[in-house]
Structure 1
Amino acid sequence: MNLASFKLEQALSHKPSVLVRVVQTQGSAPRETGTWMAVLPTSVIGSIGGGHLEFDAIARARTLLAGAAVPTEPQRVALGPSLGQCCGGVVFLRYELLGPQDATGLAQRLQAPTSPVALFGGGHVGQAIARQLAHLPFTLHWIDSRDEIFPTDTPPNIRCEHSYPVQAAVADIAPGSAVLIMSFSHAEDLEILALCLRRAREQDDLPYIGLIGSKSKWATFRHRLEARGFAEEDFARVTSPIGVPGIAGKQPEVIAVAVAAQLLQRFGPA
């Protein structure tokens, strides 16, 4: 469940809404098939791409909330001729009136495909990364060895786990997860990384293992891991430093943007 669908489920318990979904596109369009927004009397949850397309769809949805007949077929919108948008494609929108009876299971119905991420570390950078990923197509398994490190208001696509020792949680990571390692100590980082590499060697189900830190930290870790029997083919699985190249800032929020961008490059929607 992502944050937007969770908000919609909550909102439906109090007031009706109109669900507007992109069910088909032709040519260039601002958003892809499956994108949705929910129009309530005084607010909107989600987005179908902004601009005139969204403005007109909100206006039409509010007429449905006011009692107009809900169309049974998708509305065809030619972005150029109809709205003067430069995209030039065609979008088909389906309108659906929702009430409290529709809340159950709605989030699952609207859930877009997500990729799993395991984040070791609840410090400043970990917190910033979690905030970034909460709004992106990822489900986050967030792990730390310290008590009471996690915020109390994490969104539904984030699962927090206190694990001591922290590396014990490596066995529970979902297959296919991208792993981010940034605990509060280098000793913990090393143990987490060693178990991730061993699992990757045996199961080949961790496609991305990222270690925060400098090149010198990674060089030191390589030396210590070599002493444990790891080799070049194991080290080739590790990304360190993490984040897209060319972003030099060290502020937690800057690192979080760089890391989120790298994950989107690897695992985001095509």
Structure 2
Amino acid sequence: MRVWRQLSDLIARRGAAALISVHDVKGSAPREKDAHMVVRSDGAFHGTIGGGQLEFLVLDIAREMLKHGRGPARIVDQALGPDLGQCCGGRVKILVETFDRRDLDDIAPLVAAEDKGGLFDVECRMEDGRVRRELASEADVAPGSQWRETHGEDRTPVLLFGAGHVGRALALALAPLPFSVRWLDDRDDAFPSHVPANVTAVRMRSPESEIAEAKPDSLILVMTHDHPLDMAITAAALQRGFPYVGLIGSASKRARFEKRFRELGLSRERIASLACPIGISGIADKDPAVIAASVAAQLLQARERGERDRNRSPLAVSGDT
């Protein structure tokens, strides 16, 4: 969720809104630090800090604060087990803030940073009971900063080749998930008239160029209308060594393709890394929506592996480039 865009739009339409943020976490908790909810003046909300009694409690606090208008921020410090009966057992601090149209200019740089995509850091400090935020790139650990927040959306790039039944189902399945999808097909009128916000539909001219220009951490899915085209795209993707390359098809299709990949000189390791058939194991239903759900789960697994690998990398620790 684009927190600041959502907050800004609600303020512009309704005059006021509240922001609930997970400020600090000790031990086990339903959500991580910097999870957010945006609460409307009528009590409706967007996002979640994990549900359950904690969320109900803080929503009531935010609604009550909104009744009294824009005011000082509040920290809610809760032990989840003894205080709320939640079995997570940790302790959380929740920051609750109210905003109105007077805050739109201050919010604008954060909205712009979100719109650029990716993650960004914000330096925060309390001034007269309210939180003052500055983009870390501008503030560079601003004097008086008391804590840092991370905002934005960390979306993993996906190249989806093919706009057939499964491709369409998959584009919908990935819509609410943390992916940025480049959806490719070489046929006229292959795409539906409307696509999800995180999907860019592209009339493909050169699959080789798409593979060559893709980010190294991209996840590749191949399900075109043409087997030779599937072969060419998959071979190029395996050659580049993306963290996930998935090809729709049966075990017999994989065997035929593997033979050709060996003839092309692809290594045994690269060929073995191919996901074909696609999707997690144990699901036999071939309905497009079921295949899409299974593949979406597999992509989430690949995304998690990539994040763990980056966190273990010496470069991630040292900050060297």
Structure 2 length-normalised TM: 0.74
Q: Report SS of the residue matched to 1:125.
A: helix
Letter in 2 for 1:14: R
> Tell me, which stretches of 5 or more residues in structure 2 are unaligned?
115-119, 121-150, 309-321
- Aligned residue for 1:115? 156
- Aligned residue for 1:14? 13
CA distance in 1, matches of 2:160, 2:35: 27
- Aligned residue for 1:203? none
| Superposed displacement of residue 123, structure 1 | 1.8
Between 1:68-77 and 1:26-35, the stretch displaced more is 68-77
The percent identity for this pair of structures is 40
- Aligned residue for 2:315? none
Which structure features the higher share of strand residues?
2
The residue correspondences of 1:187-206 to structure 2 (distance < 5 A) are: 187-200=228-241, 206=242
Which residue among 213, 216, 223 is the counterpart of 2:249?
Answer: 213
Which residue among 231, 234, 249 is the counterpart of 2:270?
Answer: 234
| Superposed displacement of residue 176, structure 1 | 0.8
| Superposed displacement of residue 147, structure 1 | 3.0
Going from structure 1 to structure 2, the CA distance change for 1:262 and 1:79 (only over 3 Å counts) comes to same
| Superposed displacement of residue 74, structure 1 | 2.7
| Superposed displacement of residue 167, structure 1 | 4.1
- Aligned residue for 1:34? 34
Larger radius of gyration: 2
Q: Report SS of the residue matched to 1:154.
A: coil
CA distance in 2, matches of 1:162, 1:186: 18
Greater relative contact order: 1 or 2 (C-alpha under 8 angstroms, separation 6 or more)? 1
Letter in 2 for 1:37: M
Paired residues, number: 264
1:1-53 Cα offsets, whole Å, 9 max, x none, are: x5777655543431221111112111221111121111102321111111111
| Superposed displacement of residue 217, structure 1 | 0.7
> Tell me, which stretches of 5 or more residues in structure 1 are unaligned?
201-205
**4+ residue runs of structure 1 moved beyond 6 angstroms?**
none
1:213-247 Cα offsets, whole Å, 9 max, x none, are: 11111111122233333342331231111111111
- Aligned residue for 1:105? 110
CA distance in 2, matches of 1:8, 1:69: 14
Structure 1 length-normalised TM: 0.87
Whether contact under 8 Å (2:157, 2:217) holds in the other structure is yes
Whether contact under 8 Å (1:18, 1:39) holds in the other structure is yes
- Aligned residue for 2:259? 223
Going from structure 1 to structure 2, the CA distance change for 1:105 and 1:146 (only over 3 Å counts) comes to farther
The residue correspondences of 1:122-141 to structure 2 (distance < 5 A) are: 122-141=163-182
Whether contact under 8 Å (1:208, 1:238) holds in the other structure is yes
